[in-house]
Amino acid sequence: MIDLTLDEVARITGGTLVLGDHAVAQGTNESTIVNGLVDTDSREIGTGGIFVAKPGEFSDGHLFIPAAIDNGADLVICERVIDDLAVPQIVVADSVDALAALATEVVRRIRAGGVLKVVGITGSNGKTTTKNLVRTILERRGPTVAPRDSFNNEVGAPLTMLKLESDSQYLVAEMGASKPGEISRLVRMARPDVGVVLTVGLAHAGEFGGIEKTLQTKTEMVTDLLSTDVAVLNIDDFRVEGMAAKTSASVLWFGLESGADVRATDLVATSTGTTFTLSLPTGESQSVRFGVLGEHHVMNALAAAAVAHTLGVPLAEIVDALQSVTRAERWRMEVLPTTKGVTIINDAYNASPDSMLAGLKTLAQISGEGIRRVAILGEMSELGEFSLAEHDRIGRTIVRLGIERIFVIGEGARALHLAATHEGSWDGESAFFETADEAYALLETELRPGDVVLVKSSNSAGLRFLGDRLGELFA
């Protein structure tokens, strides 16, 4: 984080500065500088860090203040006075609001230097992959800050923004939401120069209350953009396409359709990635050997290329950076290294109907003599009233794709198993297990050389750990 005095942090967050048990008059600590990394996880705090104590659903961050100080915290931001602390504390009304205010001010100050460019990315699927691709391109040109993992909510996004330094040239902000208004909140913090919308689908539809609420929320990315900004939109998604009428920004389209400004043609998907021709609005084009497994990830590559083009990156640099990426992210279409003839694709960090279908289509595309395709599937969470119908639809689709063996794990995915069984043309195509351990016991003996295995579920189902176990088994 940039240098701030204790008094500045107190003013920005609307808090009261406290040393020991006594409030400190404003102005007495203007020479005390804090500039460490900010976090809500005491385990991530290091020397000079700033710990934000956030009450949570299952625990209270205030209980971990001593651990944060032991790990090196120089300042605590909290919602109540904590007695006998060895470091200053700033007491605020709401720690999440304080975090947002601090992030907003840090971004504003660095922007005032005239160098920082901000990219905001949202969508029902592909945010993390696109963020990683944009970061890979931009960090070659200058200091770039982007979130780790999927830090894209009201806490994770500002924590990422607070990693900015005075010389940062690019901020890549992944912006997720579980309800309307959350993306607007993040957009107001970061003020993107480039706002990206990838897709609008059923991911988190249960939380939003339907696809129309999801559309309304994702549209928040572009409604506050200025006329000098750029909205990078997916022309292949009709819901995203409609956002062009909702923004004052200029629009740059990406996709496979002929009307796209940044377009992919001549796609060839294989078990090692996808090759395609990337075309820019300048008329330039170049072949790309994209090593991220799954044809659907080409759309993420196009979005990243559109962002880079907007920021003045030459085509050759864009292509070179894209070709350097071999996996989307940990547990996202991650091909695990094995030596015993079994290929494990671990894609069990997130799952929506769209991403589940994309993963299964990728599995279906992998064919050849001696190859048996195996799907190990768990629940797609946060679908609410759509859950039964969507699991049923995916179960029937699997059989139609010709995937030879299906293992379904967990009660939340039982409807998928039943649908596959009803749709199947032979007995035993799909097997159901209550737990991952039960499935593993059979998979140990059933998987054989030549099998290609996709492990896919929402994070909450925990199948990513099963995927890792299988990777170790056949390593």
The annotated binding site is made up of 123-129
Q: In what order do the strands lie in the sheet with 170-174?
A: 144-145, 170-174, 117-122, 194-197, 230-234, 250-255, 262-270, 273-279, 285-290
3-state secondary structure of 141: coil
Question: Would you call 269 helix, strand, or coil by DSSP?
Answer: strand
The answer to whether residues 142 and 171 touch, using CB atoms and an 8 Å cutoff, is no
Q: Extract the annotated binding site for ATP.
A: 123-129
Please answer whether residues 54 and 155 qualify as being in contact, where contact means their C-beta atoms are separated by less than 8 angstroms.
Answer: yes
Q: Which two tokens stand for residue 346?
A: 């671990």
Q: Which two tokens stand for residue 256?
A: 């496979």
Provide the b/e sequence for 433-452 (b: ≥16 CB within 10 Å): beebeebbeebeeebeeebb
Burial 29-54 (b: 16+ CB within 10 A, else e): beebebebbbbbebeebeeebbbbbb
Q: Rounded to a whole number, what is the distance in angstroms from the first to the last CA of the chain?
A: 41
- The secondary structure element, H or E, covering residue 61 is none
Category of 173 on φ-ψ map: left (φ > 0), alpha (ψ -120 to 50) or beta: beta
**Identity of the amino acid at 330:** R
Angle between helices 315-323 and 297-310 (to 10 degrees): 140
Structure tokens at 471: 């990777």
DSSP state of 383: -
Query: Cβ of 377: how many Cβ atoms within 10 Å?
Result: 30
Query: Are 359 and 374 contacting, i.e. CB atoms less than 8 angstroms apart?
Result: no
Which position has the token pair 């699997």? 398
